[in-house]
């Protein structure tokens, strides 16, 4: 039998309701913060990502699903949401003159990574982006939005790691010092990090390799290279978070895997996840709009991984109960009553009740068994007598009580528990 692609998952009915719950929370919390939804295509011209995320990153070098289409264009399945959103915002002129553009998104993303728990090749993100404010209030708003969302999902004990990459100037001064230091230690670095040193030296800082970790402990600290403006911005972000009682831990080694960041970067981690412990992250990206050919616009945002969020919620027993499939199951004593069943089902659905019935001409016993299996609160029985009188018998499956009711007078009171 043909199997699905490694690192992809079918979303089956026993889990679909968890995603509906998540998606309803995404909508609810985005609305609380007055963010509007934007849906961009699942594939884009490759340059949106290679220019946006950066040529030296793992995502662009090793993880993108890139192909040439029949017209000869190089296209890529989106590995993240920010670059495509910026392209869409520019193309559709969404930047408001002198105002803020606040957007959220949800959907599938694709990275060719080694699949393991919490790491897939098709995964889903929710993200929010706050565009056009250079001020630390917008960094704080994004983090407060994320925190509000996590708390609304019952996730309280997560860790928020915070760092700043500073302005372009302070970052490049730091980079120069870091390269000097790492080059002097290069024989001790892993092969991967030796390569990173030449293409993207900051990435060496978040290597998981033990050899690299030892070298990194003595590396220069980015916080020592900040100019006044970068210090001020970072201090204000921290102050806003503290005032909102949001705990954070400063981690000067946090650089994140995408090149577009400057100033604030952050990551949300949870112990419930094992090695893939980061379930969300983001930061400020003031140069991406120009990088993608637009006018400058300063922005900050974050994205979370939905599969990882669900793993945490499962670990914390914070997942909701599955909703009942049907309130009412219609049992027909004979296939001759199928059209009575259809019309009664239609009448009840108009009242807002969830109704299902047998379509297999099965025995009454088999139909009752099915009604029990799906845990329907009520069964409606259409037998010879009922059909002749244009009535139905309603059975309350919780207490076994039965009553006969004329079909025309069926209303919600008959189905109150
Ligand atoms: P990211 O850190 O690359 O950031 O991804 C965000 C989240 O997506 C991760 O924390 C993780 O939970 C989830 N994720 C990433 N890769 C996978 C995977 N292979 N399998 C399962 N989950 C995964 C971004 O994508 C940025 N666009 C965030 C951002 C928005 N920055 C500014 N605005």
- Tens-digit pLDDT profile for residues 94-135: 997 789 999 999 999 999 999 999 999 999 999 999 999 999
Which are the contacts of 132, defined by CB distance < 8 A and separation ≥ 6? 95, 96, 99, 100, 101, 297, 298, 299
- Measure 240 CA to ligand 1 centroid, in angstroms: 24
For 269-292, what is each residue's pLDDT tens digit? Answer: 998 888 778 999 999 999 999 999
What pLDDT sits at residue 199?
86
Question: What average pLDDT does this structure show over 236-260?
Answer: 94
Which ligand 1 atom is at minimum distance from the Cα of 308? 12
CA 378 to chain centre: 37
| Residue nearest atom 23 in ligand 1 by C-alpha distance | 305
CA of 284, closest atom in ligand 1: 32
pLDDT on residue 97: 78
CA 81 to ligand 1: nearest atom: 27
Question: 3-class SS at 412?
Answer: helix
Q: What are the residues whose beta carbons fall under 8 Å from the beta carbon of 122, sequence distance 6 or more?
A: 5, 7, 8, 9, 108, 109, 110
Quote the tokens at residue 45.
Answer: 């011209």
Query: How many angstroms is it from 126 CA to the middle of ligand 1?
Result: 9
Atom of ligand 1 nearest to the CA of 258: 3
Q: What is the pTM of this model?
A: 0.94
pLDDT for 407 beyond 90: yes
Name the E strands within 289-341.
299-305, 328-332
Please, which contacts does 209-216 make with residues 24 or more away whose CB atoms are closer than 8 Å? Answer: 214/188, 215/182, 215/185, 215/188, 215/189, 216/253
pLDDT at 166 > cutoff 90: yes
Rounded to an integer, what is the distance from CA 413 to the centroid of its chain?
A: 40
Pocket test for ligand 1, best of 82, 88, 305, 306 (most atoms within 8 A of CB): 305
CA of 218 to the centre of ligand 1 (A): 28
**196 neighbors 203 (Cβ within 8 angstroms):** yes
pLDDT score recorded for residue 277: 87
Say what the pLDDT of residue 237 is.
98
CB 311 within 8 A of CB 277: no
DSSP 36: E
209 vs 407 pLDDT, higher one: 407
Please list the alpha-helical segments (H only) found in 200-330.
210-217, 228-243, 288-291, 306-315
Pocket of ligand 1 (CB under 6 A): 80-82, 111, 113, 118-120, 123, 125, 127, 129, 257-258, 278-283, 285, 301-305, 307-308
Most distant CA pair in the chain: distance in Å?
Answer: 94
Tens of pLDDT, residues 1-29? 999 999 999 999 999 999 999 999 999 99
CA of 198 to the centre of ligand 1 (A): 24
Mean pLDDT (the chain, rounded): 95
Distance 303 CA to ligand 1 centre (A): 6
Predicted confidence at residue 414, as pLDDT, reads 96
User: Which residue's CA lies nearest to atom 2 of ligand 1?
Assistant: 281
The number of the ligand 1 atom at minimal distance from the alpha carbon of 125 is 8
* Nearest atom within ligand 1 for CA of residue 111: 19
């Amino acid at each position: 039998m043909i199997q699905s692609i490694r690192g992809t998952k079918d979303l089956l009915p026993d889990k679909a309701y968890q995603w509906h719950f998540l998606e309803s929370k995404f909508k609810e919390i985005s609305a609380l913060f007055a963010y509007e939804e934007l849906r961009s295509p699942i594939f884009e011209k490759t340059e949106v990502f290679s220019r946006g995320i950066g040529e030296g990153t793992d995502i662009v070098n090793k993880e993108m699903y890139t192909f040439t289409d029949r017209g000869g264009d190089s296209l890529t399945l989106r590995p993240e949401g920010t670059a495509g959103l910026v392209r869409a915002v520019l193309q559709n002129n969404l930047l408001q003159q002198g105002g803020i553009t606040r957007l959220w998104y949800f959907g599938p993303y694709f990275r060719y990574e080694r699949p393991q728990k919490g790491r897939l090749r098709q995964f889903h993100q929710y993200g929010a982006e706050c565009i056009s404010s250079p001020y630390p209030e917008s960094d704080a708003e994004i983090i407060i939005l994320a925190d509000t969302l996590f708390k609304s999902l019952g996730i309280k004990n997560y860790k928020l790691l915070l760092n700043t990459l500073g302005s372009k100037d302070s970052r490049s001064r730091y980079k120069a010092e870091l390269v000097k230091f790492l080059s002097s230690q290069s024989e001790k670095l892993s092969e991967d990090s030796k390569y990173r040193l030449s293409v993207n030296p900051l990435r060496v800082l978040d290597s998981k390799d033990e050899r690299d970790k030892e070298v990194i402990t003595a590396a220069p600290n980015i916080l020592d290279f900040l100019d006044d403006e970068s210090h001020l911005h970072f201090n204000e972000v921290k102050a806003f978070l503290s005032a909102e009682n949001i705990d954070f831990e400063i981690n000067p080694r946090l650089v994140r895997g995408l090149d577009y960041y400057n100033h604030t970067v952050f990551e949300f981690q949870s112990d419930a996840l094992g090695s893939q412990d980061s379930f969300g992250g983001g930061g400020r990206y003031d140069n991406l709009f120009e990088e993608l050919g637009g006018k400058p616009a300063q922005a900050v945002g974050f994205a979370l991984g939905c599969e990882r969020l669900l793993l945490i919620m499962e670990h914390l027993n914070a997942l909701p109960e599955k909703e009942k499939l049907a309130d009412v199951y219609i049992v027909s004593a004979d296939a001759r009553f199928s059209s009575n069943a259809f019309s009664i089902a239609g009448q009840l659905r108009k009242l807002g009740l969830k109704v299902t019935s047998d379509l297999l001409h099965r025995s009454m016993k088999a139909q009752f068994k099915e009604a029990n299996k799906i845990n329907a609160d009520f069964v409606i029985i259409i037998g010879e007598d009922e059909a002749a009188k244009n009535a139905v018998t309603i059975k309350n499956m919780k207490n076994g009580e039965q009553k006969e009711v004329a079909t025309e007078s069926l209303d919600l009171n008959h189905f109150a528990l």
